[in-house]
Amino acid sequence: MTMLLKMMNPKRTIEIGVYTGYSLLATAISTPPDAKITAIDPVRSWYEIGLPFIIKAGIEDKIDFIQSQALPILDNLLLVRKEGSFDFAFVDADKQNYGNYHERLMKLVKVGGVMVYDNTLWGGTVAKHDGDVPDEKKEGKALAAEFNRRIAADGRVEICLLPLGDGITICRRIS
């Protein structure tokens, strides 16, 4: 992701689901000095785990952390910002809302901008028959598979699903 960010040189990014801040740190390090990152997560204590590393890297001023569920914040951003205000988005949050996040990001991310969704292979289960998937992974498999079908059919984006880690889907907004 850092190489992609360095090639894009985005000034305004948004991250939905921060957890311990690893991807947030990578984004902040890989963007220009004047870049701004809106980071949304409902659990501040997770963000605070990575905060010492963000401070040590001297990039805390780039980050606007918002402790909240993402959908209300995205809805508010749609009201107060013009369409296409972000260059890049990274999503690693509640999988049941990936489709909702995608629809909002399609308005917030500019044409030519990029959205990256994490965990889109769900441990490889999306390629397995249901009978071969442990019960505890079936719901996640179904959510990931439905999201993958949805964005594969979305003519507003070009997509690339990379089999790295738990699956990363890169979407470039084309309309």
**Per-residue model confidence as pLDDT tens digits over 74-125:** 999 999 998 999 999 999 999 999 999 999 999 999 999 999 999 999 999 9
Torsion angles phi and psi, residue 119, rounded to 5: 65, 30
Amino acid 41: pLDDT: 98
Cβ atoms within 10 Å of 129's Cβ, excluding its own: 7
Cβ neighbors of 86 (< 8 A, separation 6 or more) are 10, 12, 13, 14, 38, 105, 108, 109, 110, 113
114 forms beta bridges with 88, 172
Residue 66's pLDDT band (cuts 50, 70, 90) = very high
- Average pLDDT over the chain reads 97
- Residue given tokens 């963007």 in the structure block: 31
Enumerate the domain spans of the chain. 10-173
* 129-170 residue pLDDT tens: 999 999 999 999 999 999 999 999 999 999 999 999 899 999
pLDDT at 46: 95
Share of the chain above pLDDT 70, in %: 100
- Within 8 A by CB and 6+ apart from 10, the residues are 31, 32, 35, 86, 87, 88, 113
CATH class, domain 10-173, is alpha beta
What is the spatial distance between Cα 1 and Cα 3, in angstroms, rounded to a whole number? 5
Q: Are 97 and 20 in contact (CB under 8 A)?
A: no
